[in-house]
Amino acid sequence: MTTSDTPMMVTTNVKTSTSDKYARIFNSLLRRYHEDGHASKEGAIDWDNFARWSINYAESQSYSANYRRLVRASLLFSLASIQEETAPIGYKLTERWEPSDPDEEESEQEEFSAERRTRKSARMIPKEDWSNLINYFNTRRSILNMRAQVMLAAGVGCGARPIEWINAKLVADNVIRIYTAKIKNKNAWDKVKPSVFTESEFENPADILSIVEDVESIGNHFDQVLFEDRIQRSGLDPVQDADLVEQLRLNRKGADTRIFRDVVFDEEFKIPIEMNLRYIESFFCSKFGDDWRSMDQEILERVYVREYYNGVRIAIWRACKKLFGEDKLYSPADTRSTFSANRKAQAGLRQASSDLGHTSVNMTRAHYASAKDAWKR
């Protein structure tokens, strides 16, 4: 099918006026999809991806609940008539979509804010409760529920703060780069090899006693030696990338850097982390186009919190009320402390602190769940 082709409409048991309405909505979505540059150069369309984009787009706009249901009907009606391999996948995805109701969400947002309790430090999600939430979302496949499900899983997998997902990206099969600082031109940091600045194995400080005169400053000298060694192995060119090297030095945190952290995650979290990044990417593309990363960071954060993250929080809050009543109301922020407990048990306090982006292990020890609370493996 070329970009100018229009799918044939199925008219069985549908009035002509209704089928015309479906066609207008569907073709409007299709035009916007092309304008956003999602179709291939040959004009071919991945209908699975188109369905995901359309659902995300409809949910991100200020549409009424009735119009979102109309969009769903037009997608189902039109995709059913397309004789291409990916069309049935897109159809099934659309079939599982439960369009959200803005009025209901606004009411729940008010109730959510009114009932929100002061969150205790070191709060985490027990594995049984987490599994129940994941399974709950499997049975209710709206776009908000799918976003909530993958963020719950991805957060436990890598410990990212909810706001940090905006700029996070995969830099290896099992490594996610999470930016801690607000810096420009993040693409330039792609040159830094994965995990160089967040290695878990440390040399013995005693090995460098011979080059350190002041015994009390051994730790600082040791970290600086490690840091400079990591710059040498980072893949950055000391001349061409002099500005990046300078930024790293200015943001040195021991042997690490405050600019970003590379977190190695377990294989079981690979799919949800990839999906969470994909959903957020799709959301921003639908709002600002493919070049959305060039937007002002404060604008991205404001739109993300208002139109994406708040919906995820409400979806999780709603699921908690149905599963646990008033006793347990979890948040995406609780996945970070859950990650902390699991990583402390798995790799120790120092590595957990580094993976969380903390400047001191004291913060990790005092305000995040301990290793004794970790999930049993």
- Taking CA atoms, 160 is separated from 17, 241, 248, in Å, by 49, 28, 21
In the prediction, which pLDDT does 40 show?
A: 63
**Cβ atoms of residues 170 and 211 within 8 Å:** no
Instruction: Using the CB atoms, write b or e for 16-25: b if 16+ within 10 Å.
Output: eeebebbbeb
pLDDT in tens, the chain (377 residues): 333 343 433 445 778 888 889 999 999 999 888 877 776 656 678 898 899 889 888 887 778 888 888 999 999 999 999 989 899 999 998 988 888 776 555 544 554 454 454 556 568 999 999 999 999 999 887 888 999 999 999 999 999 999 999 999 999 999 999 998 667 667 778 888 888 887 654 444 444 444 444 544 555 667 788 888 888 888 888 888 898 888 888 888 777 788 899 999 999 999 999 999 999 999 999 888 888 988 888 899 999 998 899 989 999 999 999 999 878 889 999 999 999 999 999 999 989 998 998 878 888 988 899 999 999 87
For the chain, list the domains and their CATH numbers: 16-99 (no CATH), 105-170+266-373 (1.10.443), 175-264 (no CATH)
Q: Which of 74, 68, 44 is nearest to 56 (CA)?
A: 68
- CA dist 360 and 293 (Å) reads 30
Global model pTM greater than 0.85: no
Residue 110 to residue 300: CA distance in whole angstroms = 24
pLDDT of res. 114? 45
Which H or E run contains 294? none
Whether the Cβ atoms of residue 100 and residue 144 lie closer than 8 Å to each other = yes
Q: Which pLDDT value is given to residue 255?
A: 77
| CA dist., res. 123 & res. 309, Å (int) | 19
pLDDT at 250: 84
- The residue type at 325: G
Q: How do beta strands 175-179 and 169-172 pair? A: antiparallel
Farthest-apart Cα atoms in the chain, separation = 88
pLDDT at 371: 93
